[in-house]
A = this chain, B = another copy of it.
Amino acid sequence: MTFKLPPLSERANRVTPFMVMEVMEKARQLESEGRSVIHMEVGEPDFPTPSVVVETMVKAIQDGAYYYAHSQGTPLLREALSRHYKKHYGVSIPPHRFLVTPGTSVGLSLLFGALLEPGDSVILSNPYYACYPNFVEFYGGKPLLSLVKEVDGFKLDPSALKELIAANSKVKAILINSPANPTGAVLEPKRLKAIAELGPLVISDEIYHGLSYQEERDHTILEYTDRAVVVGGFSKAYSMTGWRIGYLIVPEPYVRPLQSICQNFVISVNSAVQMAAETALEHAWPEVERMRFLYDKRRKLMINGLRSLGLGILVEPFGAFYVLANVSHVNGDSRALAMEILDKAGLATTPGCEFGSGAEGFLRFSYATSPENIDEGLLRLKNFLAEKGKLP
Where the two chains meet, the residues of A that have a C-beta atom closer than 8 Å to any C-beta of B are 1, 3, 5-6, 8-13, 15-18, 21, 42, 44, 48-49, 54, 57-58, 61-62, 64-69, 71, 102-103, 105-106, 109, 113-117, 131, 134-135, 138-139, 172-173, 197, 199-201, 227, 240-244, 251, 253-254, 256-261, 263-273
- Give Cα distance in the complex from A109 to B114, angstroms: 14
Given that A242-B66, A266-B105, A272-B242 are contacting pairs, would A113 and B9 also be in contact in the complex, using a CB cutoff of 8 Å?
Answer: yes
Chain B residues within 8 Å of A135, by CB: 264-265
Cross-chain contact A61 with B64 (CB below 8 angstroms)? no
- Give Cα distance in the complex from A390 to B105, angstroms: 52
**23 pairs, A vs B, C-beta closer than 8 Å:** A5-B254, A8-B114, A9-B113, A10-B117, A12-B113, A12-B257, A12-B261, A15-B260, A16-B264, A17-B263, A18-B263, A48-B64, A48-B66, A49-B64, A57-B61, A65-B242, A66-B241, A102-B106, A102-B266, A106-B265, A109-B265, A138-B265, A270-B270
Cross-chain contact A105 with B265 (CB below 8 angstroms)? yes
Chain B residues within 8 Å of A11, by CB: 113-114, 139
Cross-chain contact A173 with B58 (CB below 8 angstroms)? no
A71: min CB distance to chain B, Å: 7
Known: A16-B260, A66-B243. 17 other contacts (CB 8 A): A5-B201, A6-B173, A6-B201, A9-B116, A12-B261, A15-B257, A15-B260, A17-B259, A17-B263, A42-B68, A49-B66, A54-B61, A69-B242, A131-B264, A134-B264, A242-B271, A244-B268
Given that A21-B71, A61-B54, A131-B264 are contacting pairs, would A9 and B102 also be in contact in the complex, using a CB cutoff of 8 Å?
Answer: no
A111: min CB distance to chain B, Å: 10
A266: min CB distance to chain B, Å: 6
A24: min CB distance to chain B, Å: 10
- Give Cα distance in the complex from A113 to B13, angstroms: 11
- Give Cα distance in the complex from A201 to B5, angstroms: 7
Cross-chain contact A66 with B240 (CB below 8 angstroms)? yes
- Give Cα distance in the complex from A67 to B251, angstroms: 32
